[in-house]
Structures are given as C-alpha cells and as structure tokens.
C-alpha cells in the first residue's frame, strides 16, 4: 500500500502523512527534507542554489544532515524551493524516493510531486491545501515553537510573501511542477485544526482503499 500526500508548504501535509503512517503501520518519508538537505549543503559549500551544478554537487550530502534541526528553518526551506527547480537535482533524488515507496509492506510519502512523478501508481493520492494566510500563520507558529521565529524575528506578512514566492516557483517550474494528480483527493484544511484535518483525511483514505 502506497499513500502519496502532496501539497504546498505549510499545508499540514507532513503532519498528516506522519499520522497516516503510524495508523497504517508503514514507514514515512518526508521527501521535502531531502531537498532541504540539498539546500543546506549548498549553503555549507558556499555555493549558489540557483546554479544547477552547485545544487547537483550538494546532492552528495551526508545522511547525518537529515537529523539536523536547522533543516526545519525558514531560511533552509527557501533554499530547498530554489534547488528543487533543477531537473538534475530532481533526477538525483528520484531513485531514492522511488525505492522507499516500493519497499515491502508499502509506505507513506509526502512532498510536491509524489502522486504525479514519484508514485503515480499509489493506492491513494492526496493533495492537502489551505489558504496562503492560514499556511503563513501555521508556519509562523511552528517557527516560534521551534525557536527559529525568535532567532530571526520574521513577521507574519514576510512569511506570507515567502510562501507566495515558493508557491510560484513550485507551480511554474518546468520539471515536476506542484499540482494535484488527476485522481487525487483534494482536501482543503483551512478551517480545520490538526485533529479535524487528520480525521477528515483518514476517513477519505479508508473510503478510497475500500473502493479500490
């Protein structure tokens, strides 16, 4: 069983994907973390995230980097969005993601192109979204709770502008743009708290699995 969970930044897809994995007893992969690691490695290398060669070289990051909390920072999130536009980077990370999806027993993967590129044969495809303002609010709360918000003191309106810019890059990129798969279940979580969002998604997944 493969469950693909796509959606824009701060839509809640990551939290939902983790809980689905726990519920169904399968592994979970936050594919966005891979791109964040590449973005962070570019910074460590003092390279340019907009340069494809620099971004591709950063794909050789150490697995230990995936455990670094700095990957969750807003700055690294922006770098991830920039390196993800490069086809060579996406190709370099494709096999790693596909192998995870095909492991025995199944898996839950979340990202921006899981249902369209990484696992188009997934048993259930979800596209989780929410309004830009609500996503910015959630991201601000997340940053504040983690400490990053206090460190860099980014106001809410700046986060909202950054989210708009990230959406534009993700949607407009030529290779694997952010979009819902034609057969994806699109769920807007703007008006939901975390528990309501998960319960709504879980019910939709159960119905889809029964129908399939």
| Contact criterion met (CB below 8 Å) for 114 and 16 | no
CA atoms within 13 A on the CB side of 191: 2
How far is 91 from 88, CA to CA, in rounded Å?
A: 5
The pLDDT tens digits of the residues spanning 73-103 come to: 889 988 998 999 999 999 999 988 999 999 9
Please check the confidence at residue 146 and state whether its pLDDT lies above 70.
Answer: no
Average pLDDT on 155-184 reads 91
Provide the residue ranges of all domains of the chain, joining segments of one domain with +: 2-204
For residue 147, the model assigns a pLDDT of 59
Are 124 and 208 in contact by the 8 Å Cβ rule? The answer is yes
For the residues 35-52, what does the mean pLDDT come to?
Answer: 97
Which pLDDT score, from 0 to 100, does residue 82 have?
A: 94
Q: At 68, phi and psi to the nearest 5?
A: -80, 125
Query: CB–CB of 77/166 below 8 Å?
Result: yes
pLDDT tens column, 45-76: 999 999 999 999 999 999 899 999 999 888 99
- Cβ atoms 26, 106 nearer than 8 A: yes
In CATH terms, the fold of domain 2-204 is: Rossmann fold (3.40.50)
C-alpha–C-alpha distance, residues 14 and 9, integer Å: 9
């Amino acid at each position: 069983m493969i469950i693909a969970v796509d959606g824009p930044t701060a839509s809640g897809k990551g939290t939902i994907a983790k809980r689905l994995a726990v519920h169904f007893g399968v592994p979970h992969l936050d594919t966005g973390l891979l791109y964040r690691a590449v973005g962070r490695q570019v910074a460590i290398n003092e390279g340019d995230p907009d340069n494809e060669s620099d971004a591709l070289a950063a794909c050789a990051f150490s697995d230990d980097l995936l455990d670094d909390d700095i990957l969750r920072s807003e700055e690294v999130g922006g770098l991830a969005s920039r390196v993800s536009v490069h086809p060579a980077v996406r190709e370099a990370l494709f096999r790693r993601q596909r192998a995870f999806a095909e492991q025995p027993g199944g898996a839950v993967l979340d990202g921006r192109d899981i249902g369209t590129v990484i696992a188009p044969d997934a048993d259930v495809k979800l596209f989780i979204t929410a309004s830009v303002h609500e996503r910015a609010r959630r991201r601000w709360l997340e940053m504040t709770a983690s400490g990053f918000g206090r460190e860099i003191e980014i106001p809410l309106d700046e986060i909202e502008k950054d989210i708009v810019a990230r959406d534009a890059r993700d949607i407009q990129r030529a290779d694997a743009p952010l979009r819902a798969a034609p057969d994806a279940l699109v769920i807007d979580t703007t008006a939901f708290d975390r528990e309501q969002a998960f319960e709504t998604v879980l019910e939709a997944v159960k119905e889809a699995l029964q129908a399939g």
